[in-house]
Chains A and B, each alone.
Chain A
């Protein structure tokens, strides 16, 4: 599930290894602004895949709470890294803010889901599940628009 996602930015963002600048240098190593923008989109798509998997696991009613919490945290730290990278880009190359804010909301909802422990598994109330799914589809729509714009 976590294929294509690097743990390194998570560790760097937590201040345990390296600095945010070092990670930016690594992650935005491709030459040219177009590649950098495409790299950002790819990372957002990977994040979207991660949140999609987490929403599915939350709806299953049997996701182990501890793992879910770690992965929800991982989603947030990867998102933070993408946004820090994005901040350093030229204005015209930046990811649109509404898209990033949708992902911030997704992160907050995933954190709420991680708190819905029934025993050692995640069981979310129906209203939260509904918001998780609709937020997920909003992020998907935003990504679709970004893909169309980048072509």
Chain B
């Protein structure tokens, strides 16, 4: 096997093992949300008119240490439980962009000015995305489902129906069954497609591209940083040191922000999964608004800090902040991470099997109807 393919396999496995635990945890929470949210007052709170629900979703997302892959099942569960599209998309964007650990790391390595810009952008961009999603995201004449549907967007074939249970344990079991038997295989299938694409990009994209584009401050460089960030798998906590290293060697601060925000807010596994579960229109709007919004913010940050940007640090304090940030980032043990990765792969295999079987059934029906039509 060539070095490139070894690297590809390692990258794909790494993305899986890094995100799988959070996806599984999110499926569990998502199942419970789907089972309990529709009948709770919490949904009414999330669906309240005005900006309160959106701001609540953003603040809640900003406190969760989940990456952009892990947030997918939770976002889809909220949507399928009847929560408005605006708060759902705001939550999906805010969760991976910003979290307490990332803020501490940014303060330690990028300096106070960029951290201020990062926090402001991390809170306002999801809000704007939520507004855009609410206004233009849903196809004309449709709205978010007000009750939980039996299946996720027509992609599930298991046909499990919600249990009209009044006992908590039965309802928890029903929620988990929905999470793992209905939603899980579908999401895992699309996520796997996205992870394979992200792995190809990570391996075959020359690393010097990222390096060279982040060192410019032109409009093209801003766009390239946005598109690159949105395509490759970037986790805020892991990539802040990388961005800091680039910044120290002359990368424009605005470009760093664009890369960090678009990189963390979205990636191919997330886009592919959302595209096939929530809708094509919303994903296009989401990605375009995110890149354009981050680019505008990048221009503003460059105008604010350039020329002569020189962040001020106390090295000892930076180390202390690094420690704090890393302590706030929950780590998943190797065994648990690998078990979750195998679990996610198993769900993806089930998802592929179901899709293959459905495709064969459709072919068979088409063939038989074709025979009937032409038999005369």
B313: min CB distance to chain A, Å: 6
Do B202 and A101 have beta carbons less than 8 Å apart?
Answer: no
Of B184-192, B203-211, B366-374, the one touching chain A: B203-211
Are A104 and B249 in contact, CB atoms less than 8 angstroms apart? no
Q: Which residues of B86-131 have CB atoms within 8 Å of chain A's CB atoms?
A: 105, 108-109
Q: Count residues on chain B whose CB falls below 8 Å from chain A CBs.
A: 37
- Known contacts: A115-B238, A119-B338, A126-B7. The answer to whether A104 contacts B318 by CB under 8 A is yes
Which residues 81-134 in A have Cβ within 8 Å of B in the complex? 83-84, 87, 97, 100-105, 107-109, 111-112, 115-120, 123, 125-131, 134
Closest chain A residue to B211 by CB distance?
A130
User: B246, A131: Cβ atoms under 8 Å?
Assistant: yes
Give the CA-CA distance A68 to B208 in the complex, in Å: 26
- What does DSSP make chain B's interface, helix, strand, loop or mixed? helix
**A105 engages B319 (CB within 8 Å):** no
Decide yes or no whether A57 CB sits under 8 A from chain B: no
With the chains together, A109 CA to B246 CA distance in Å?
12
Is A23 an interface residue when CB atoms closer than 8 A count as contact? no
With known contacts A107-B322, A118-B10, A127–B315 Cβ distance under 8 A? no
A43 lies within 8 A of chain B by Cβ: no
B241 / chain A contacts, CB cutoff of 8 Å: 105, 108-109, 111-112, 131
Q: Does A65 contact B (CB under 8 A)?
A: yes
Please, which residue of chain B has its CB at the minimum distance from the CB of A126? B207
Does B138 have its Cβ within 8 Å of any Cβ on chain A? no
Q: Which of B141-191 contact A (CB under 8 A)?
A: none
- Of A84, A109, A118, the residue contacting B242 (CB under 8 A) is A109
Q: Which residues of B contact A130 (CB under 8 A)?
A: 207-208, 211
Bound Cα distance A103, B338 (Å): 32
Kindly count the residue-residue contacts between A and B in the assembled complex, taking CB atoms under 8 Å apart.
Answer: 96
B109 to A, closest residue via Cβ? A108
Q: In B219-243, which residues have CB < 8 Å from any A CB?
A: 238-242
- A interface majority secondary structure: helix
User: Is A36 in the interface zone, CB < 8 Å from B?
Assistant: no
Say whether A105 contacts B238, CB under 8 Å. no
- B322, chain A: closest CB distance, angstroms: 6
- Docked Cα-Cα span, A8 to B315, in Å, equals 21
Instruction: Determine whether the beta carbon of B17 is less than 8 Å from that of A138.
Output: no
**How many Å lie between the Cα of A136 and that of B126 in the bound state?**
36
Q: Is A61 part of the contact surface with B, judged by Cβ < 8 Å?
A: yes
Q: Report B-chain residues with C-beta under 8 Å of the C-beta of A97.
A: 313, 315
Q: How far is the CA of A120 from the CA of B124 in the complex (A)?
A: 39
B316 touching A83, Cβ below 8 Å: yes
Chain A residues at the B interface, C-beta cutoff of 8 Å: 61, 65, 76, 79-80, 83-84, 87, 97, 100-105, 107-109, 111-112, 115-120, 123, 125-131, 134-135, 138
A-B contact pairs, 26 of them (CB 8 A): A76-B319, A76-B323, A80-B319, A83-B315, A97-B313, A100-B315, A101-B248, A102-B248, A104-B318, A108-B241, A109-B241, A112-B242, A115-B238, A116-B14, A118-B10, A119-B338, A125-B11, A127-B202, A127-B207, A127-B210, A128-B242, A130-B211, A131-B242, A131-B245, A131-B246, A135-B245
